[in-house]
Amino acid sequence: MTVSDALRDRRSCRSFATTPLAAGALDDLVDRARRTPTAGNCQGVEFLALEGADVSAYWDTTLPPDRRGAFPWPGLVNAPALVLAFGLPGRYLDRYAEPDKEGTSLGGSATAWPVPYWLTDAAFAAMALQLLAVEAGLGCCFFGLFEHEEAVRERFGVPDDARAIGTVALGHPALVGGRTSASTARPRRPLDEVLHRGTW
């Protein structure tokens, strides 16, 4: 499978079979996803991988059982593995305070970064994780934490300065029973609408 194939085939799977991932599969996927670029090679992206009872604890924290009846994608809760990608601002500030980066003025404060690369780099890693999942024949779905970031932080002991960009659900797609998102009916915009040559 080529990168183009993986991009073409990647879909947001919202209904998973309960079959666990093969032993070591999650570690292998994360190990390869962590090789995406980071600013200054600071390697300031870390992952929280959840399987088994930890997946249940995640959903109990973000989607309590009394709210699940109204949840439009109940098959998403069946995903056997969840991975949260976190950007660590402190690693970026430390790296950009080193002598070879002193001319950038980015080592003093997170507010000095017009674009917080710890979030950009974590997003790169989350996308790579999804493409690697597709290559492995798995389904995946990225979704945001929104108002649940602090509760997840407390439940799983995530450091205060780590910023989550969201969660990637991973597993084998359910063969039946999935509900298609209305978003899938939206046509892809043509290239000439999104590619600006020389000027906007």
Over the stretch 27-67, which tens digit does the pLDDT of each residue have?
999 999 999 999 999 999 999 999 999 999 999 999 999 99
Tokens 């950038």, residue? 104
Q: In the chain, how long is the greatest CA-to-CA distance?
A: 57
Query: What is the distance between the alpha carbons of residues 124 and 87, in angstroms, rounded to a whole number?
Result: 11
pLDDT confidence tier of residue 6, bands split at 50, 70 and 90: confident
The rounded percent of the chain whose pLDDT value lies above 70 is 96
pLDDT tens, residue by residue, 75-89: 999 999 999 999 999
> What distances in angstroms separate CA 25 from CA 14, 116, 127, one per listed residue?
20, 31, 17
Model pLDDT for residues 89-109, shown as the tens digit of each residue: 999 999 999 999 988 999 999
Provide φ and ψ at 107, rounded to 5°. Answer: -90, -5
CA distance 107 to 138: 39
Task: Find the DSSP H helices in the chain.
Answer: 3-9, 25-33, 53-62, 65-68, 89-95, 117-135, 149-156, 191-194
Domains with residue ranges and CATH for the chain: 3-176 (3.40.109.10)
pLDDT digits (tens, 9 = 90+) for 100-139: 998 899 999 999 999 999 999 999 999 999 999 999 999 9
180 pLDDT more than 70: no
Burial (0-12, 13-18, 19+ Cβ within 10 Å), 51: middle
Strand order across the 139-143 sheet = 45-51, 81-87, 163-171, 139-143
